[in-house]
Amino acid sequence: MAGLIKDITTHRDLLSMLVARNIKIRYKESALGFLWTLLGPVFLILIYAFFMKVVMKFPIPMPVLVSGIFVWQYLAMCLGDSSFAIIGNANLVKKACFPRLLLPLSIVLANFVNFLLSLLVMAVYLLIVGPHFGSIAWLPLALITHLALCTGVSLGLCAMNVFLRDVQHLTGIFTMAWFFLTPVVYALSDVAPFIQKYPLLGPLYFMNPMAGILALYRTALLGSPLPELSLISLSMLVSVIIFVAGLAIFQKLQPRFADEL
Amino acid sequence: MSTIAIQVEGVSKRFRLRSAGGNTLKSLVMDRFRSGADTSRELWALKDVSFTVEKGTTLGLIGANGAGKSTLLALLAGTMMPTEGHLKTHGTISSLLELGAGFHPDLTGRENVFLAGAIMGLTREQMNRRFDAIVEFADIGRFIDQPVKHYSSGMYVRLGFAVAVEVDPDVLLVDEVLAVGDASFQRKCLRRMAEFREQKKTMLIISHDLNTIQTVSDQILFLDHGRVLGHGAPSQVIGQYETFSRDQVSSDRRREWGTREVILTGAQFLNEAGQETTRVTWGEALTIRLHYDAKTPVGPSVFGYGISDEQGRLVHGNNTQIEAISIPSLSGRGTMVLTLPSLNLAKGTYLFSFSVHSADHQVNYHRLDHAFAIGVEATKSFEGLCYMPCEWKQEPSTAQP
């Protein structure tokens, strides 16, 4: 672990350049450029708002939907990009020697920069539509847990995809299922009655780290009631486990990357 | 302080080969069922390789494609791990394994230069100091702020080379740089590499251009199928390599057939001094002693020979019948002596074929096609495969003074 931190600090110039590269390349030669970071989620929100609220008459408040989509989008971007973190840089991996960890990490961080900007936009939106902010103190905890989860998942996926290209296809399907298991386009209060009825369902539901992370964001930004701390802690614990597991998988597989590419 | 820059001890590298389908769940599952076939899916790119490189010297790596040269450089650069053995390198390493390999097509030359520098472990400040020198060496002017996808392949390679050398490493690894770029850039590269040697830096070079590698290297390592076949002074190891590849060529093209009533048991190639050799010099006499064994006595026979180039194209052929040498019968062991008084072949490798057949061409007793490879050294560099004796004379000028 200490070695890893040293790797990252001695190569921080490289890391920041890779992050900048990832951000630049994503929007190269598109007229709207960086705006797409926001336009993607905005259109997603409009589509969901139309079908959920207008067609299906599902009473989801807009701020809940907006926060759900923006927060989810960060994980979704990492899931989509990370499969290619190593195989998309095969030339670099085969020809140059540097900590391979920087490749997935730079993707997670580039998406994190995008996410922070979209949080700013969301803050402006929330100020306009009016509901008072919640207990902002929960925000750092939400961000850190979210970052740890995205990092862990990305490290594991990019390493496994080098050896097994099925990973990138499975990820797509898995992302979809995860989306609906997470209270993105519905509020936690919509599942609360079920959790009360079947006490075991609560811990099971919060084993999905995104459930707890999203609850933290909504508590911080919308003032939604915070679920039981034991459930939140469970989500955080699972995030940490995923982070450690992802890192372990990556470190185990990375010596053989160049052989496989 | 140690004087050794690179130390390689008993290094082996194994690759696992995958089926053509690549890495998919299906192949993974199928491979589980097909256990036992495992060893055929392995490739030892390097096997028990050991050598050291002294600081300030240049080691040239030679060998056919697939010999393991590039794998060796990848191990030294640290992008791959050896399966067995140890490698030790002292000082910073810059690798030119593939020029501009890390460049991203959508980024500008400037952005790529800084990124490449960071990959090699330099800070932004260090790169700032070197930037002008890099642009100047690469000679790409205002293109430096264009995305590299708009570069010509020459510009791409020049920028890659410039970055790698200006990073100023202690050890420079160079893979086939000299094969790319135009002549003037190649001269520039060679000059830069000479400067590098003067600064007492260590280099490892891969090249198929034997002349160049002989001039720039202090030592040569000759690899074949992952094993070290030769290591030492350039001229000696390169000679060994040339002999080796000649034998490879002839064993690849060698064909043999016939009724075997008479068999050709061997051929000795003798130079002017009467010594057996596989390397002869243009213009000198070559004597070939062709041994045969007529197990079944046969009637009127003909011996023939052919000389082909490395691609198997016939350069010249002749036989005893054409030269009106009559051989009424053959029985038992014997030797035919063929003398070529002046070998008029251009520099290169040639394959000799021999045959013995009946005088009416109905029965082919034994034929050895492309069986013997002979290297020819030429002091005269004429055009084409063969030399024709010629005389040039200038007639006295008729113009009035």
More confident residue, A141 or A202: A141
Identify the structural domains of chain B with CATH numbers, from first to last: 4-238 (3.40.50.300), 254-377 (2.70.50.60)
Interatomic CA distance for residues B245 and B253, integer angstroms = 12
Cβ–Cβ below 8 Å for A11 and B121: yes
Interatomic CA distance for residues B69 and A201, integer angstroms = 60
Residue listed under structure tokens 């990490």: A105
CA angle A145–A149–A154, rounded 5-degree value: 150
Of A141-145, A179-183, B28-32, least confident by mean pLDDT is: B28-32
Count of domains for chain A:
1
Structure letter (DSSP) for residue B231: E
For chain A, say whether B104 makes contact (Cβ under 8 Å): yes
Structure token digits, residue B326? 């009559």
pLDDT beneath 50: ranges in chain B: 36-37, 39
Mean predicted confidence (pLDDT) in A47-66: 87
Write the pLDDT tens digit of every residue in B306-336.
Answer: 999 888 889 999 999 999 999 999 999 999 9
Count CB neighbours of A104 within 10 A.
28
Task: Specify the pLDDT at position B312.
Answer: 81
For chain B, say whether A173 makes contact (Cβ under 8 Å): no
Q: Is A249 left (phi over 0), alpha (psi -120 to 50) or beta?
A: alpha
Residue to test with chain A: of B80, B126, B175, most A Cβ within 10 A: B80
Percent of chain B past pLDDT 90, that is, above it, reads 27
Task: Specify the pLDDT at position B263.
Answer: 92
Cβ–Cβ below 8 Å for B98 and A95: yes
For chain A, say whether B361 makes contact (Cβ under 8 Å): no
More confident residue, A111 or B180: A111
More confident residue, B170 or A235: A235
Is the per-residue pLDDT at A221 higher than 70?
yes
Is the per-residue pLDDT at A223 higher than 50?
yes
Alpha carbon B318 to its chain centroid, in Å, reads: 32
Task: Specify the pLDDT at position A212.
Answer: 93
Give the Å distances, CA to CA, from A22 to A85, A88, B294.
10, 12, 77
Of A6-10, A62-66, A220-224, A247-251, least confident by mean pLDDT is: A6-10
Give the nearest partner residue to A164 out of B24, B114, B122, using CB atoms. B24
* pLDDT band, very low/low/confident/very high, at A136 (cuts 50, 70, 90): confident
Q: How many CB pairs under 8 A join A and B?
A: 81
- The parent domain of residue A162 ranges over 2-260
Interstrand relation of B58-62 and B202-206 (parallel, antiparallel or unpaired): parallel
Structure token digits, residue A118? 């979209």
* pLDDT band, very low/low/confident/very high, at A78 (cuts 50, 70, 90): very high
Task: Specify the pLDDT at position B99.
Answer: 62
What residue type is assigned to position A253 of the chain? L
Task: Specify the pLDDT at position B36.
Answer: 47
Write the pLDDT tens digit of every residue in B102-137.
Answer: 788 888 889 888 888 888 778 888 888 989 888 888
SS3 content of chain B, % helix, strand, coil (to 5): 30, 35, 35
Task: Specify the pLDDT at position A235.
Answer: 94
Interatomic CA distance for residues B349 and B200, integer angstroms = 37
For chain A, say whether B81 makes contact (Cβ under 8 Å): yes
Percent of chain A past pLDDT 90, that is, above it, reads 43
- pLDDT, chain A, mean: 89
Mean predicted confidence (pLDDT) in A17-38: 81
Backbone angles phi, psi at B384, to 5 degrees: 85, -175
